[in-house]
Amino acid sequence: MIPAFMPVLSAGSHTSPTEGACVMEYVSVLAGEPWTDRPACTHPAFATLAIRINDRLKDDERQQMVPLIPRLIGTSTDDPYVNVGVAVAMLRAIFRQAWPAWAHENLEPAWAVLYRWASHEPVSLAELCTTAAAAAAAAAATTTAAAAAAAAAAAAATAAAAAAATTTTAAAAATAAAAATAATTATAAAAAATTTTATAAAAAYGWGIDERVVLEAGLDAFDELTGRGAVGLAEEQWRELALLTA
């Protein structure tokens, strides 16, 4: 729902509210952070997409981003399960818009396995490794550059899940130091997968995808995987934001 007292979003970055504000600069204010379009409270992949959407939309269309402002707060995480799940959700949103038939045939089985894993359902390391190999093969066989970028992101997500699953095995069979190293590797791989996915969305933009659909799919997955409930603002909070750049 778009609030009655609506902050006005502007394209580009701004040094202060007197110059205007983009969607992420409003997020930084709400989160109590210093004025920036890269607030620490927001998942980097979400911030990248939100900024790109904010700057690409026409002035009258940009206001549709306003209801997402509170949802972007508190999404930064280093949880590999959440990061892989978010990557999968955004990849599905990209492919289902641009190459639905190819994705259904080549990547949907891998996504199903990955999202089960991200939801903490039982998935074996062997199944994850097989899934990673299949996704990598799909990426290698793709001739369209944008599709290849998105398929590579799918491969990165599966590799991250496999690394995290290996971490669980390492924790049971290795020293604490070795297990900690494996955990760090898995966490970094999962974070990289979401960054690669945001890049893939940019590559697929020329194929007519709506990046807002991709962003909202990622936010929906974040809410589901973390158990976060509905996020909104009181009318007075919307009024304060609206007055910020008035």
Q: Tell me the pLDDT tens digit for each residue of 199-233.
A: 667 666 666 788 999 999 999 999 999 998 877 76
* Half-sphere exposure for 37 (CA within 13 Å, toward CB): 21
Please say whether the beta carbons of 117 and 150 come within 8 A: no
First-to-final CA distance of the chain? 21
The per-residue pLDDT for 171 is 43
Please say whether the beta carbons of 231 and 41 come within 8 A: no
The per-residue pLDDT for 179 is 47
The per-residue pLDDT for 167 is 56
pTM for this model (two decimals): 0.81
> Which residue ranges of the chain lie beneath pLDDT 50?
169-175, 179
Distance CA 125, CA 156 (A): 16
- Can you state the percent helix, strand and coil of the chain, rounding each to 5? 75, 0, 25
